[in-house]
Structure 1
Amino acid sequence: MPTESITVSTDINRSLGCIKRSVASRLRKVILSLYSALVRPHLEYCIQLWGPQHKKDMDLLERVQRRATKIVRVLEHLSYEYRLRELGLFSLEKSRLWGDLIAAFQYLKEAYKKDGEGLFTRACSYKTRSNGFKLKEGRFRLDIRKKFFTMRVVRQWNRFPREVVDALSLEVFKARLHQALSNLV
């Protein structure tokens, strides 16, 4: 039985093929708008729930985005990282992290705060240099638990500086998170 990643990859590759065959223009503006409307939503829809757990599945989906960024005429021979930067996109790994952290923010501080009280435990930290809103990391015998949403987001959340995690609104958090992720290599 094919994994969800293979199914998504196959469907999206078909969409990319249709775009490549039916659109005469290879201008950045045209391809980026088609990609943003027709392809990227399939790669990101409910990624926190079905997101790939294995490196091979993540690489499979990343290859789809690599192929899509090569369609832009001027960028086709440049490195993938440069193409992403020029198009104003994140890698899918960073996009998954973006989605995870936004969902975590909503569970911790916004719309789902009541539900988030059971999902995350706040760590007691008296350090003044780190972010003041640390979450407690759980310890588990099985590695599979480390890939659950509530576990994978804690380590990332704790790495961000105070000004990112102390945002008062989702819009401010998104802007600061975007800046922080843009600075990550």
Structure 2
Amino acid sequence: MVKLERVQRAATRMIAGLRGCCYTERLHATGLFPESYRRVRGDIICVRRILRGDMGPELMEYFPLREQTRTRGHGLTLLKLSSVGLPLRFRLSRRVTNLWNSLPADVVEEVNDKMLKRKLDSVLRTMWYADLS
């Protein structure tokens, strides 16, 4: 992924009107995203498949759903587990929980995979560009 990021940096430098801009401005102008964005997107899609049971029932125990009676948010709110053994950055269940819980209900409860990816991209895009401002 580091090599892909380097190629993307070099390719955005080759665009004539964007040579003097910083990397994040070049990405915004071209509609591209860094490797960290792609990793987060893949993690969210992976968690969705795990919660649906597509990757086997044994993985579902690492993503327990929160028992809540609140009317806010969506019904698939994850409970954050304590980490034992591995550092936090390597645990998918710890890395993704806050972002998953902050997603809107229409994204999380989407049945169709293509529509999920489209809605997820629009939500993550607004989050990403809000962080840049």
Alignment TM class, shorter chain as reference: 0.7 to 0.9
Structure 1 gap segments, 5+ residues each: 1-7, 13-38, 40-60
Q: Which position in structure 2 is the counterpart of 1:152?
A: 95
How many Å separate the matches in 1 of 2:7 and 2:94?
A: 27
Cα pair 2:83 2:94 within 8 Å, conserved = no
Assess if the C-alpha contact under 8 Å between 2:80 and 2:97 holds in 1: yes
Partners of 1:126 and 1:83 in 2: CA distance: 45
C-alpha contact 2:81 2:93 (8 A) present in aligned 1: no
Residue in structure 2 matched with residue 58 of structure 1 by the alignment: none
Q: CA RMSD in A?
A: 2.4
Q: Quick check: 1:168 aligned with 2:114?
A: no
Once residues 116 and 93 of structure 2 are traced to their aligned partners in structure 1, the CA distance between those partners, rounded to angstroms, is 19
TM-score (norm 2): 0.79
Residue 25 (structure 2) pairs with residue 105 (structure 1): no
Distance in 2 between residues matched to 1:147 and 1:159, nearest whole Å: 21
Query: Which protein is richer in helix relative to its size?
Result: 1
Counterpart Cα distance in 2 of 1:90 and 1:99: 13
**Distance of 2:82 and 2:62 partners within structure 1:** 15
Q: Tell me which residue corresponds to 1:94.
A: 37
Q: Which runs of 5+ in 2 are unaligned?
A: none
Match of 1:122 in 2: 65
Percent of aligned positions that are identical: 26
Matched to 2:95, the amino acid is R
Larger radius of gyration: 1
Out of 120, 123, 126, which is 1:183 matched to?
126
Distance 1:93 1:73 in 2: 26
Which digits, 9 at most, give the CA deviation of each residue in 1:37-69, with x for residues without a partner? xx4xxxxxxxxxxxxxxxxxxxxx5x6643332
